[in-house]
Structure 1
Amino acid sequence: MILSWRRRRASRCANKKEFSGQNLDMGVEEIAIPSHFRCPISLDLMKDPVTLSTGMTYDRSSIDAWIEKGNNTCPVTNQALISLDQIPNHALRKMIQDWCVDNRSHGVERIPTPRIPVTAYEVTRVYQRIMAATQRGDQNKCLELVAKIRAWGKDSERNKKCMVENRIGCCLSASFEFFANNEETTLLKEILSVLPWMFPIGEEGQSKLGSAKSLRCLVWFLEGKDLSSRQNAVLVLRKFLSLDQKHVDAFVEVEGAIEALVKIIREGPSICPTATKASLSCVFFMISGTSDKIKSRFVELGLVSLLLEMLVDAEKSLYERALGVLEGLCDCKQGREKAYENALTMPLLVKKMLRVSALANEFSVSIIWKLCRNQNGDGDDEEEIRILVEALQGGAFQKLLVLLQVGCSDGIKDKVTELLKLFNLHISKLDCVDSSMDFKYLKRVQF
């Protein structure tokens, strides 16, 4: 096979030619790559050749992808793999590197010496050393070992996976809890920087991270001034709270937890979008299935107005999260009252319907449905009638008709149908819908 290598001619003069406005001549030379330098799977030049138990050699990334798909045979020989161990083929890699050097004049770049992936034995050994250092209260040793874990994780996703499988997250959670009340925060910051990679952390790890001591420490970081630590803390919380409702219940009881999350959201996505999204996810977990007391507290802190301001120009993932939280807050009376008071509420919900995503559509319909009907479902409340008229004037009737046609879940479909019935009671009294609009392409909707 032939691999085409592109070479720049007169490279030393490239900057001068670019400055003068001249086009840089490009030449293409075809160089034959020795077949035994190619990975049998990808047919590309191998960068990190490894040999399996069958004696066949592959590029590490290619054979990793093959095994991760559930295959347990050798791709070439079709023999069952007795072991999934991969032995680095240093001799072949050296030959490939020498070949690259010999052909560098043709534009071939030398492949870098790959980093050897971490092994389960190495991870287990570090696990034991961290636990021992934690029990001794040796912060310096723990800091050294956590820095090593961080370096391993930066090397490759494979290393992260190996560490998760060998319970590094559990020992880091235990160490975090042990030193949580210590004034020296360097170690705690370092642990928070790697913990988001380590989920799931197992039952033991959850019990350590979910203790009152650990949760208070996480809130302390959320309230701090260090942006990186605050982001890492909320990323850990997002993953932790998603594991079990009991963790949500415990976190809600921590003093300052609700205020800390609202503070991050208030600072806005322009400062740290990742932290804002994670905070919204945490709030979503906290208001799902809880009493109105928690929701009311978020409303009192001005979260409804913050969310509506965020919806004005938020990108897709942030918009969906903000809508999800707003939908949850509208379950309580205080949340609906704040939504009624804000002039942005209905125009924003109606304007962006059908423009963002199917999930956003469902959240928008649910919010409008909650605002346009009272607890008895008769839609006779003064505020609900006012908001219903605003929805009609904004074009909600037409958009809901279209939504029925393009499809939605059964639960949302029922809400759309109910809304259309409510709108139908008032639409004849208002000049909200252009009677000349052609709805022939829409299927007939039965009320």
Structure 2
Amino acid sequence: MLRIRKVRNPFGGKKTLELTIPPSFRCPISLDLMKDPVTLCTGITYDRQSIDTWLDAGNRTCPATKQVLHSLEQIPNHTLRRMIQDWCVVNRSYGIERIPTPRIPVTRMDVSKILEEITIKSRRGDRSGCLELVKKVEMLGRETERNRRLIVSNETARALSEAFNTFAAASADVDASVLESVLSLITWMFPLDDEETRCNLGSPSSLNCLAWFLKCGSLAGRRNAVLVMRELASSHQSYVDALSETDGLVDALVKVIREPICLMTTKASLIVIYHMVSSSASKEKTVMKLVEMGVVSLLLEMLVDSDKSVCEKALGALDGIFSYEKGREEAYSHALTTPVLVKKMFRVTDLATEFAVSGLWKLCKNYKGDDGRFMVEALMVGVFQKVLLLLQVGCGERTKEKATDLLKMLNVHRGNGECIDSMDFKQLKRPF
């Protein structure tokens, strides 16, 4: 039953009327009035949204008859839809609104044809023609979620990445409009699982273009360029090496962190830098450049007041940078190093704790001063107690080894700088 409350006149009060929806107008799944009826190969008609949800869940049977569907094609039932619309018009006095005529959904063949034309036009260097087609794909994807899913699942990323690589080989500023539109659509396709797609985006021409977007592109272009870099850096070591060696890219990434566009962009930039300083073949050269650009100070100040996700990624980048002498020298001279690392050892994430302990361990282990000043400063902000507590509550094996070693190094200097009475923690059992 569909119940409609209606006011008859100013003096007659309110009266509840009940209107029955004809059974043939109801979707067998949702039992609601169908807005876009489609018929399956079994002859049963459903509302498109309901049957799409059923099929997207992996079901391959007709919900009503339980028959196996030998075809997933959905045929629009125009006759039934017009009958439903006429019924809505007849009953408009009951508050029933006429359902709009649905847009014809895009088909897999439609998408394939458009992508084929994009490939042809990009190879011919037809920038305006390619841009028009890319905009068409974007418009179709924004019409319905179903269209978008179909576009994403139709190897669209491969065709778009090929077009991007082709136009990137020319001057980026000349082809900025089509490149930016293609880049925006590619962000719909994450994660980039196709190797050919990654190869196109990881080519020298494409990477130089991404670096150009970071330096000269619009806010949207810079954002999308960083997101694509994150996908590449997270996929394979070879792309991390290629990103590290691309001229101007490291400088541009630091600029994005120093002058944030949005939280997502900041996180993506930190992930790329983390991979560069942790696993790149030219990581030492990259670290030197980052240190010269003041990244250690920038990340330490960022850690003071950032959300958990940003803290985790910033700590990961610092841990990689502290593997090198230049990075450690910068940390030793910064007043925030010990208090921030000690503070972030807890209350962020397990991974952040691992990075914080690893960073402190590297700084203490490689400290060359005879005075032990760095260890004394760490003791003054309570590092000994925090590391001891960490061992009590539990942590990963690698972190446990570093924490234990860290306690041994700190223990030598406890008489010189500890400002918290260790007797306050006498009830804790020491594992060493």
TM range (shorter): 0.7 to 0.9
In 2 relative to 1, CA 416–151 (structure 1 residues): closer, same or farther, beyond 3 Å?
Answer: same
One-letter code aligned to 1:277 = K
TM-superposed deviation, 1:83: 1.7
What are the residue-to-residue correspondences of 1:99-110 with 2, within 5 Å?
none
What are the residue-to-residue correspondences of 1:211-360 with 2, within 5 Å?
211-268=203-260, 271-290=261-280, 291-360=283-352
Task: Name which of 390, 398, 419 aligns with 1:411.
Answer: 398
TM-superposed deviation, 1:265: 1.1
Find the counterpart in structure 2 of residue 122 from structure 1: 110
Distance in 1 (CA, whole Å) between partners of 2:199 and 2:269 is 22
Find the counterpart in structure 1 of residue 430 from structure 2: 445
Task: Name which of 378, 382, 385 aligns with 1:391.
Answer: 378
More divergent stretch after superposition (40-49 vs 304-313): 40-49
Q: What SS is found at the alignment partner of 2:38?
A: strand
Distance in 2 (CA, whole Å) between partners of 1:83 and 1:57 is 14
CA contact (8 A) 2:376 2:416 kept: no
Find the counterpart in structure 2 of residue 18 from structure 1: none
Q: What SS is found at the alignment partner of 2:142?
A: helix
Deviations 1:337-360 (A, max 9, x none): 111111112212222332222222
Distance in 2 (CA, whole Å) between partners of 1:406 and 1:105 is 68
Find the counterpart in structure 2 of residue 190 from structure 1: 181
Distance in 1 (CA, whole Å) between partners of 2:335 and 2:264 is 28
Distance in 1 (CA, whole Å) between partners of 2:201 and 2:409 is 48
Q: Normalized against structure 1, the TM-score is what? A: 0.82
- Equivalences, count: 421
Distance in 1 (CA, whole Å) between partners of 2:136 and 2:308 is 36
Q: CA RMSD in A?
A: 3.2
CA contact (8 A) 2:164 2:206 kept: yes
1:382 aligns with 2:374: no
Task: Name which of 163, 166, 182 aligns with 2:151.
Answer: 163
More divergent stretch after superposition (138-147 vs 55-64): 55-64
Task: Name which of 206, 209, 217 aligns with 2:201.
Answer: 209
TM-superposed deviation, 1:311: 1.2
Distance in 2 (CA, whole Å) between partners of 1:397 and 1:99 is 76
TM-superposed deviation, 1:98: 5.4
TM-superposed deviation, 1:223: 0.8
In 2 relative to 1, CA 90–383 (structure 1 residues): closer, same or farther, beyond 3 Å?
Answer: farther
One-letter code aligned to 1:123 = V
One-letter code aligned to 2:236 = D
User: Structure 2 stretches of 5 or more lacking a match?
Assistant: 8-13
1:84 aligns with 2:72: yes
Distance in 2 (CA, whole Å) between partners of 1:241 and 1:28 is 62
In 2 relative to 1, CA 279–94 (structure 1 residues): closer, same or farther, beyond 3 Å?
Answer: farther
Find the counterpart in structure 2 of residue 147 from structure 1: 135
Deviations 1:115-143 (A, max 9, x none): 44322101110111112212222111101
More divergent stretch after superposition (252-261 vs 89-98): 89-98
One-letter code aligned to 2:328 = R
The alignment-based identity, stated in percent, is 52
TM-superposed deviation, 1:281: 1.8
One-letter code aligned to 2:262 = C
User: Structure 1 stretches of 5 or more lacking a match?
Assistant: 10-25, 375-379
What are the residue-to-residue correspondences of 1:357-376 with 2, within 5 Å?
357-374=349-366
What are the residue-to-residue correspondences of 1:13-162 with 2, within 5 Å?
37-43=25-31, 45-96=33-84, 112-162=100-150
